[in-house]
Amino acid sequence: MSTIRALTFAIIVLIIGSNSRGGETRFERKAYALTQPVLAVDAVDANGDGKLDLIAVGESKVWAVLQPSGDKVVLVEDTAGRMLHGCSLDCDADGDLDVVMSRSTSNWIFHRNAIATGRSPKEPTGGDWTIAWIENIGTTDREWPLHVVDRELHGVHGVTVGDVDRDGADDLLAGTFRKGPYQDSLAWFDFPIDASREDLPGRTLISKGEAKGRAHYLDFADMNGDSRGDLLLGASGGGTLTWWEQPAESVEAWQKHLIARMPGATHPRAVDMNGDSRRDVLASAGHGEGVAWFEAPDWIRHDVDSGVRDVHAFDVADLDGDGDIDCAGCSFSMERVWWWENQADGTFTAHELDNDGGQQAYDLKIKDVDGDGGLDILLAGRQTKNVVWYRNVGREDSTSN
C-alpha cells in the first residue's frame, strides 16, 4: 500500500452510534476500485500469511484484495462471465476456506438444449458450470484451480452453507429461478470432497419446482428445535419469506412453511431477537421497501426501518458488542449504506455509513476481518465497481476530550 493510500484510509473514520451505552461506535472506510461490477464479497486468507483478505466476485473474475497491502490479485477468470453470488467454504477439508461462485445463467445449458433439438450451435466460450468452487492453494502467485459443483441448476441467485447431514462439516445449499428442468428448485451438495478427483459433489434436491417467486438469498438454521438445520428463502418476485423443514429421514420431502409476505423479499436471517429462545427472522426487501423482523411463532411483523427500499445487500450480527442483534445493509437504488442499532427495547436506530449518495452494492457480509474482536462490514459494489471494508474500530467514550 502506498503512503498516500494509507493516510487516506486512516482519516476516513465515520463516527456513528449512540452515546447511551458506552460511547459511539466508529467505522473506518476502506474502498478498493476494481474493473468490473462486484456481485459478492467475503474474506479468506488467500496467501497463507494468517491474515484474512477480501474476496470480490465480479462478473467474470474473482479477486483477492490482500491485507494490509491492498494489492489486488485475480484468483480466477472465466470468460463466460454471468457470476452472481458467492461465499466461502472449506470444500476439501484441508483447513482453509475456499471460494464458491454461482452463475445467473449458462450458455452451455442453452447449447445442450439446442443440440437436443437437432440444431448444431457454436460451442460457447468459458467454463461449463452453474456452481463452482476455486481451491485455496495458500498463495496468490498463480490462479486457483476451479472445480465444478453443478452444470444443471439454472439461475443460481443465492448460495449459503450449513451442516445439512450433521456430519460435522458444512455443506452447500443453493436455489434456482431460471427455466430448465430444475427451475424454482432448492438443493444441497455434500461437502467436503476430494479435490484431486473430478467427481461432482452429491446433489440432493430439497424441492423441485416448488420454490417459486424468483428465489434469491438463503439462510440455514434449526427453526423448530429438532436439532436438524432448516433452509430459509427470500423470493422477491413472489414476495414471500419461507422456511423449509428438514425431515427426519433423508428420503422424505422437506416441508415448506410460510413466514410472511414481504413484497420484494430477498434476505431472511434466522436470529433470536427477543431472548425467548425461538428463532425469529430478520429480513430485508432487496426488491421492495423496508427492513423488518418477524417474531416467532406467529410471525408478527416489527419494522426496523420502513423508509428504505431495495436493500439488496444485507447481513445481521452484534455489531456494537452489546449482546443483541444489529443489522447492516445497502440500497442499490438509494445508493446509501446503513447499520441499524438494536436498542434492546424493540426499536432500532439507523446510522449512515455512506451518505454521499454514491455507493452501490449487491452483497454484504459481516466478518471480523482484522481479528481485533470487532465485527466489520464488507460490501460488494455493483455499479461502483469496488469492494468496501467498513472496519469496526470500536467505541469512543463520548465524555473524553
CA distances from 118 to 112, 122, 154, 178, 226 (A): 10, 13, 22, 23, 50
The Cα 14–Cα 298 span in angstroms is: 38
CA distances from 23 to 13, 20, 287, 321, 328 (A): 15, 7, 35, 12, 19
Residue at 398 is within a domain: no
Cell numbers found for residue 352: 449512515
The Cα 294–Cα 400 span in angstroms is: 39
Residue at 165 is within a domain: yes
Residue at 331 is within a domain: yes
pLDDT digit of tens for each residue in the chain (401 aa)? 332 233 233 324 444 444 445 567 899 999 999 999 999 999 999 999 999 999 999 999 999 999 999 999 999 999 999 999 999 999 999 999 999 999 999 999 999 999 999 999 999 999 999 999 999 999 999 999 999 999 999 999 999 999 999 999 999 999 999 999 999 999 999 999 999 998 899 999 999 999 999 999 999 999 999 999 999 999 999 999 999 999 999 888 999 999 999 999 999 999 999 999 999 999 999 999 999 999 999 999 999 999 999 999 999 999 999 999 999 999 999 999 999 999 998 799 999 998 776 898 999 999 999 999 999 999 999 999 999 999 999 876 544 43
What CATH number is associated with residue 275? 2.130.10.10
Q: What are the DSSP E strand ranges found in 285-385?
A: 289-295, 300-309, 311-317, 326-331, 336-342, 348-354, 363-367, 376-381
Residue of 249, 350, 352, 232 whose CA lies nearest to 294: 232
**Omega prior to 68 cis, within 30 of 0:** yes
- For 267, the domain range is 35-112+121-360
Cell numbers found for residue 135: 481451491
| Total number of residues shown for the chain | 401
Residue at 12 is within a domain: no
What was the pLDDT predicted at 2?
31
Domain total in the chain: 1
Specify burial of residue 392 (Cβ count, 10 A radius: 0-12, 13-18, 19+): buried
Residue at 383 is within a domain: no
In percent, the amount of the chain with pLDDT more than 70 equals 93
List b or e across 181-201, with b for residues whose CB sees 16 or more CB atoms inside 10 angstroms: ebbbbbbbbebbbebeeeebb
Residue at 21 is within a domain: no
Residue at 390 is within a domain: no
Q: Are 338 and 326 in contact (CB under 8 A)?
A: no
pLDDT, averaged across the chain:
92
**Omega prior to 192 cis, within 30 of 0:** yes
Using DSSP's 3-state secondary structure scheme, residue 234 falls into strand
